Structure 1
Amino acid sequence: MAWGSVASVTDAPLPIAFARHLARDRRRSAHTVRAYQATAERLLAFLRLHWGGPVAAGDLSRLSQADLRAFLAARRETGLGNASTARELSAVRALMAFAGAPPPRVSGPRVKKGVPRPIAPAEAVALAEEVSEDAREPWIGARDWAVLLLLYGAGLRIGEAMALTGAALPVGDTLRVTGKRAKMRVVPLLPAVRDAIQAYAAACPYHLSGDAPLFRGAKGGPLSPAIIRRSVRAARVRLGLSDRTTPHALRHSFATHLLGRGADLRALQELLGHASLASTQIYTAVDAAHLLDVYRNAHPRA
């Protein structure tokens, strides 16, 4: 079935037909299918009250900017953050494309610009999910998910992730990483990161030999960092995240979040592979800026 057409879908309710289309024709993950179906159900329920009557697929063509903004405003009142609101908007656009209705031009929320700030944990996961789910093949989605989890969950530079070879398999509790100036370090791996790498290795159609690159491009060659950067750039636009949301920002977030949870600077220096402690100390300033921002937003007299 072609994207943007409901003609060949059964007479199932629109959210269910939409979900079937996402799973069968767009090969979206089960998580995305559930989330997008829930958005479709919420939008139709909102419009039934907003317009005062039942809503069919053909009715979506009269959805206006004001209608869509009202729906998003209602969702924000439930406590939805910027990244989640942007994904809600993305789901609405996908639903309207499925129904053959042009979506109103409404910009998604953006993260405020200012001093460098870490990406919130929910935003980091949302970014990785968005990149993975937009991949053209399931194994490529698994690859991108594993790469981005290595950057955020283990603090790797993107070049360090690309330099990994098949010798890293099967992955254990730690990973040997070659950093700048060929300096070796050992980083611990969270279970979610280990599972992501193993899932990618199992899905990859190319043989991952010991001395060959672990992460492969679509044609089997070494994966270029530019591919990951391009995918992150497109995903952050869809999610309404700041243009500072880059693959390297995931490494910054790893460091800042560890420091905020009480990690020792020397230990953090080792995890990041910094030659000098001065390079690691920048995260104390970033963390202080984040705390000041929280204080200003939360304190009644700030």
Structure 2
Amino acid sequence: MADALARWLDLEQATRDRSPHTINAYRADLLAFLSFIGGYHGAAATPKSLGGLRQGDMRAFAASERARGLGARSLARRQSAVRSFLRWLSDREGHDLSAALSARSPKYARTLPRPLSPEQAQEALETVATGHQTPWVAARDVAVMTLLWGCGLRISEALGLDGRDWPFRDSLTITGKGGKERHVPVLPVARDAVAGYLRQCPWRLAPDAPLFRGVRGGRLNTDQISGALRRARAALGLPPTATPHALRHSFATHLLSAGGDLRTIQELLGHASLSTTQVYTGIDDTHLMAVYRAAHPRG
């Protein structure tokens, strides 16, 4: 069983370009499933025994996960990984698992991202700029957040930049999830923010060294940026959803509000599927309805 699982994970990583994070999540999903099936049937699961799975087994697994407190969205992802593995196993072993694979995943409402308004984002950056007693650290935090808001980068992508990436040209080549590359335009304000940080940074810029450094010279971690924004959030009275990732959401939402098309925003964000990007149309619709209700005489 361990050999079969390892082979499937290797195949997913090699042929579908899955990220290490995704592979680890799939491994956890399958181990949870195999552990349940072993206990449910009173014997360790094997590639042969899985050939006898029925829809009732899948429903029992789902009920067990829900009883443990797993949410509908997480359960749907877990079941998706299990089905993918079982489809591969059925082809490999010659099983007929159509009955087990017909079990439905739970429906869930996709939650809308909660971006900051342009005014909130600007106020947050201004507060961060004066929020640390060490000027170069404050300049660094502003530079990182400007890349998140102005270029739509994930925080891991911004903090993964190295000295060789500077100076920025008109666009940055970003390697995102699954090793996929995309080209992101760099606004002058983002370039200026990074330049301002580098002028004050006490560490020498080297091609193989991190662009954004912690106070001891190592690569900056996400906790420090989250902490800076958390302090700004408290000072401004912003909601708990005002996180570094909310700045990326803000990038997408503000582009859409300004007339950007979904395909372009999808490419800039590095989403594999357009359906992922389409969630931002829900935010725009919500905003429009709020304006309508406030302004319409019969609202």
TM-score normalized with structure 2 length: 0.61
> Given that residues 171 and 197 in structure 1 are in contact (C-alpha distance below 8 angstroms), is that contact kept between their aligned partners in structure 2?
no
Other structure's SS at 2:193 match: helix
Task: Give the equivalent residue in structure 2 for 1:270.
Answer: 267
Task: Give the equivalent residue in structure 1 for 2:297.
Answer: 300
1:207 corresponds to which of 204, 207, 214: 204
Partners of 1:146 and 1:157 in 2: how far apart? 14
1:226 aligns with 2:223: yes
Other structure's SS at 2:204 match: coil
1:189 corresponds to which of 186, 189, 192: 186
What are the superposed Cα offsets for residues 240-277 of structure 1, whole Å, 9 maximum, x if unpaired? Answer: 01111111001001101101111111111110001111
Partners of 2:178 and 2:210 in 1: how far apart? 19
Partners of 1:260 and 1:206 in 2: how far apart? 40
What are the superposed Cα offsets for residues 30-68 of structure 1, whole Å, 9 maximum, x if unpaired? Answer: xxxxxxxxxxxxxxxxxxxxxxxxxxxxxxxxxxxxxxx
What are the superposed Cα offsets for residues 174-196 of structure 1, whole Å, 9 maximum, x if unpaired? Answer: 11112111211110011111111
Other structure's SS at 2:278 match: helix
> Given that residues 112 and 280 in structure 2 are in contact (C-alpha distance below 8 angstroms), is that contact kept between their aligned partners in structure 1?
no
Deviation, 1:299, is 2.3
1:124 aligns with 2:128: no
1:289 aligns with 2:294: no
Partners of 1:117 and 1:226 in 2: how far apart? 20
Other structure's SS at 2:143 match: helix
Task: Give the equivalent residue in structure 1 for 2:27.
Answer: none
Task: Give the equivalent residue in structure 1 for 2:213.
Answer: 216
Partners of 1:123 and 1:236 in 2: how far apart? 10
1:239 corresponds to which of 236, 244, 251: 236
Task: Give the equivalent residue in structure 2 for 1:170.
Answer: 167
> Given that residues 113 and 280 in structure 2 are in contact (C-alpha distance below 8 angstroms), is that contact kept between their aligned partners in structure 1?
no
Deviation, 1:115, is 6.3
Partners of 1:273 and 1:208 in 2: how far apart? 28
Partners of 1:253 and 1:222 in 2: how far apart? 25
Deviation, 1:123, is 0.7
> Given that residues 112 and 279 in structure 2 are in contact (C-alpha distance below 8 angstroms), is that contact kept between their aligned partners in structure 1?
no
- Identical counterparts, % of pairs: 54
Other structure's SS at 2:167 match: coil
> Given that residues 162 and 208 in structure 2 are in contact (C-alpha distance below 8 angstroms), is that contact kept between their aligned partners in structure 1?
yes
> Given that residues 171 and 198 in structure 1 are in contact (C-alpha distance below 8 angstroms), is that contact kept between their aligned partners in structure 2?
no
Partners of 2:142 and 2:227 in 1: how far apart? 14
Partners of 2:113 and 2:249 in 1: how far apart? 10
Partners of 1:205 and 1:162 in 2: how far apart? 18
> Given that residues 143 and 215 in structure 1 are in contact (C-alpha distance below 8 angstroms), is that contact kept between their aligned partners in structure 2?
yes
> Given that residues 132 and 141 in structure 1 are in contact (C-alpha distance below 8 angstroms), is that contact kept between their aligned partners in structure 2?
yes
Deviation, 1:200, is 1.0
Unpaired runs of at least 5, structure 1: 1-113
Deviation, 1:300, is 2.7
Partners of 1:115 and 1:164 in 2: how far apart? 29
> Given that residues 128 and 145 in structure 1 are in contact (C-alpha distance below 8 angstroms), is that contact kept between their aligned partners in structure 2?
yes
Unpaired runs of at least 5, structure 2: 1-110
Partners of 2:293 and 2:161 in 1: how far apart? 42
Deviation, 1:171, is 1.5
> Which amino acid in 2 is paired with 1:170?
P
Deviation, 1:140, is 0.8
The structure having more radius of gyration, on CA atoms, is 2
Task: Give the equivalent residue in structure 2 for 1:142.
Answer: 139
Task: Give the equivalent residue in structure 1 for 2:25.
Answer: none
Partners of 1:228 and 1:172 in 2: how far apart? 24
Other structure's SS at 2:161 match: coil
Other structure's SS at 1:270 match: helix
> Given that residues 131 and 141 in structure 1 are in contact (C-alpha distance below 8 angstroms), is that contact kept between their aligned partners in structure 2?
yes
1:153 aligns with 2:147: no
Matched length: 189
